[in-house]
Amino acid sequence: MDPARLRALLDQVRAQAASVDDAMDALRELPFADLGYASVDHHRALRTGVPEVVFGEGKTPEQIAGIAAELLRRGQNVLVTRLDASKAAAVREALPALAYDPVSRTGTVELGPIAARPGATVALVTGGTGDLPVAEEAAATLRMLGIETLRVYDVGVAGLHRLLHRRAQLEEAAGVIVVAGMEGALPSVVGGLCSRPIVAVPTSVGYGAHLSGLTPLFAMLTSCASGIVVVNIDNGFGAAMAMARMFPAPRV
């Protein structure tokens, strides 16, 4: 249950439009629902402002559909990450409303309009086209949180004039997520050019000594540009959530 729905329920009880027993019934499953294979956390939106997100990797389509259906039953929008195309097709048989994006590998179900967070525009910067799946995972997550995005793609250090051409746009954003593979130098460059909060995401895109993302991870962690936050390899979702905590939604 999200904060707005809970407040509406409490207002109904106060106005005697709903009984205490009605409220008790509505709140009975608030902490979590035990599905046997998953304990769906219905209280998370109240604690953190964001409902539980379904990590699709490692789950069966039936499990994903079951968890999503339970979230929807309690009035929550649904975001599924790391969802491949074959699983998405199977999940849609149970949940036809699921919208699937193959680039970000995310599935979403929106019960209603998502409230925008005024003034919270996040620039998504990538080193190359190979980093797009991770950046688009961040974009999909930010959209479900009501945060507008500005895409600044394929502006890596092999051609810095491309980044400098769009420098003013970075300063107009409230925050910047920088996604890069190879040697992972791009966040340091952006950090030296831009005053906005920066979250860096190393990707597993690169050749041998790139070590499947460890090399850019270490480079970002040891960046000489101060104040850069670094998340795990390929973790576009985590970068979006970190940025969302910097620009929280207004309290309901």
pTM score, whole prediction:
0.85
Q: How far apart are the first and last CA of the chain?
A: 13
- % of the chain at pLDDT higher than 70: 85
For the stretch 145-185, pLDDT in tens is 999 999 999 999 999 999 999 999 999 999 999 999 999 99
Instruction: Give the CA diameter of the chain.
Output: 67
CB 141 within 8 A of CB 81: yes
Domain with CATH 3.40.50.1970 in the chain: 121-246
Residues 75-95 pLDDT 10s: 889 999 999 999 999 999 999
pLDDT band at residue 70, thresholds of 50, 70 and 90? confident
Tell me the residue type at 156. Answer: G
pLDDT at 71 (0 to 100): 87
Kindly state the tokens that stand for 127. Answer: 């080193």
User: Tell me, what's the pLDDT at 120?
Assistant: 84
**In the predicted model, what is the mean pLDDT of the chain?**
88
CATH of span 121-246: 3.40.50.1970
Query: CA-to-CA distance for 141 and 133, rounded, in angstroms?
Result: 12
Q: Which of 1-5, 39-43, 81-85, 135-139 is least confident?
A: 1-5
Answer yes or no: is pLDDT of 29 > 70: no
Q: What is the average per-residue pLDDT within 125-142?
A: 97
Higher local confidence (pLDDT), 238 or 3: 238
Q: Which residue has the higher pLDDT, 88 or 7?
A: 88
The three-class DSSP label of residue 139 is helix
